[in-house]
Structure 1
Amino acid sequence: MGAAAGAMREAVTRIAVDVTFLRMDAPPEGPAPAFPDGAAMTRVARCSVPFYRYLYDTVGRDWVWWLRRTVADEEVAALLARPEVSIHVLYQDGEPAGFYELERRGGDAGTNLSYFGLMPHAIGRGMGTAMLRHAIDTAWSDGPRMLTVNTCTADHPRALPNYVAAGFRILRTMREVWPVPNRLGLRIPDRLRVG
């Protein structure tokens, strides 16, 4: 049985990342930055699995977003159907340019900014700060006790500084080793590879 189980294991690339957990205890003060002309946010009332996968895969492909790629469509559909989960898409001149996902956990758990990112063609075009503030303001509009987010060293190098500049404070950083399935075809930077 041991040999058969070993033969059935999926081929993976192990990566080591430092995951930083952040928290915000009160809404930010001051006006939100404006979006560039032609950019606007839209909440997707009923996000389909194919559209969600398009958003997740396109935003995350360069940053080793792998976990939701391994989940069956039925599980993604169940997640998207939960009333406490919302998907918000940034459009620039009519095409998707990024998205974020909020999970309202309620009570002491507050709200979590589960995913946040721009599509590759939208990075560096002046939309990230406005989109992050939109996510923060949307999360606080429900009156949570706190807002949380995490990022890691596989993410864009500006992710952590941008979260801190937006008003999040660092709680802790932990080293994690992830088994990224090779079948996903993700580009894994050498700096993240383990052994």
Structure 2
Amino acid sequence: MIRPSLMKLVEPTTRIAVDVTFLRMDKRPADPGAPLPEGLVVEQLFPRCGVPLYRELYATVGHEYVWWLRRTLSDRDLDALLSDRAISIHVLRDAEGILGFYELDRRGWPIMNLAYFGLYPRGMGGGIGMALLRHAIAAAWKEEPAALTVNTCTADHPRALPNYLKAGFHKLRTVREEWPVPDRLGLPIPERLKI
């Protein structure tokens, strides 16, 4: 008999399969794109984003798209990540509050990564997604990286990949990944992704 203290506890998960597309932009776009609509502003959270707000941003934007990985981090680990000066969080707001955010990651400098990007549900459908994406791209290129990268997957919003391509990114590769999404997160997982 195995003593309970020696048993390895396994967290219940739902296994999913996604196709992850990695994209890259090697030069600043010639066309700056449309500005943000009047009444919208992007604010860089400085000197850093706190854990509670980041958890709200990540959960609100990513709930329907199986954004799970950062939800599994402890507050301490997430705080350490957000304290890294190479990472910046930028929040889109209107008079009523937050509409979305993006995260720029410089840890692989001179290549910068658009690590996370998305809108709150109330910000969707009004055409502001592309304006926010172009804002993120412009903010990244102001720092003159060698390249800007981003990735998306088949769990993301269906317009994500077409919008990245329209904004000037090009595909590097697409790979199939399997993820063990912890059931305790309570994420709605589309049947099409389940293994």
TM-score between both structures, scaled by the size of structure 2 = 0.94
Look up the match of 1:141: 142
Instruction: Tell me the secondary structure at the aligned position of residue 82 of structure 2.
Output: helix
Aligned alpha-carbon RMSD (Å): 1.4
Look up the match of 2:160: 159
1:49-68 counterparts in 2 under 5 A? 49-68=51-70
Given the alignment, which residue of 65, 68, 71 partners 1:69? 71
Task: Provide the identity percentage.
Answer: 57
1:1-195 counterparts in 2 under 5 A? 4-5=7-8, 8-45=9-46, 46-108=48-110, 110-194=111-195
Instruction: Tell me the secondary structure at the aligned position of residue 151 of structure 1.
Output: strand
Q: In the TM superposition, what is the alpha-carbon distance from 1:37 to its structure 2 partner?
A: 2.5
Q: In the TM superposition, what is the alpha-carbon distance from 1:11 to its structure 2 partner?
A: 0.3
Equivalenced residue count is 191
Q: In the TM superposition, what is the alpha-carbon distance from 1:106 to its structure 2 partner?
A: 4.7
CA contact (8 A) 1:106 1:144 kept: no
Deviations 1:154-178 (A, max 9, x none): 0000000000000000000000000
More moved, 91-100 vs 16-25: 91-100
Q: Return the letter of the residue paired with 1:159.
A: A
Poorly superposed stretches of 4+, deviation over 3 Å: none
Instruction: Tell me the secondary structure at the aligned position of residue 7 of structure 2.
Output: helix
Q: In the TM superposition, what is the alpha-carbon distance from 1:4 to its structure 2 partner?
A: 2.2
CA contact (8 A) 1:98 1:122 kept: yes
Stretches of structure 2 lacking an aligned partner (at least 5 in a row)? none
Deviations 1:57-109 (A, max 9, x none): 0000000000000000111111111111000000022400000000013545x
Stretches of structure 1 lacking an aligned partner (at least 5 in a row)? none
